[in-house]
Amino acid sequence: MPLSEEQLAKNFADIAPPLTNDAALVDANKCLFCHDAPCTIACPTHIDVPAFIKKIASGNLRGSARVILDANPFGHSCARACPVEVLCEGACVLNDRDEQPIKIALLQRHATDYVLEHKLRLFQPGPSTGKRVAVVGAGPAGLSSRPA
Ligand code: SF4
Question: Ligand 1 pocket, 42 CB below 6 A?
Answer: no
pLDDT band for position 13 (cuts 50, 70, 90): confident
CB atoms within 10 A of CB 141: 13
Question: Ligand 1 pocket, 106 CB below 6 A?
Answer: no
Angle between helices 104-117 and 49-57 (to 10 degrees): 60
Give me the chain's average pLDDT, please.
Answer: 92
CATH number corresponding to 17-143: 1.10.1060.10
- Tens-place pLDDT, residues 94-132: 999 999 999 999 999 999 999 999 999 999 988 999 998
For the entire predicted model, the pTM comes to 0.88
Q: How far is the CA of 135 from the centre of ligand 1 (A)?
A: 33
- Longest Cα–Cα distance of the chain, Å, equals 56
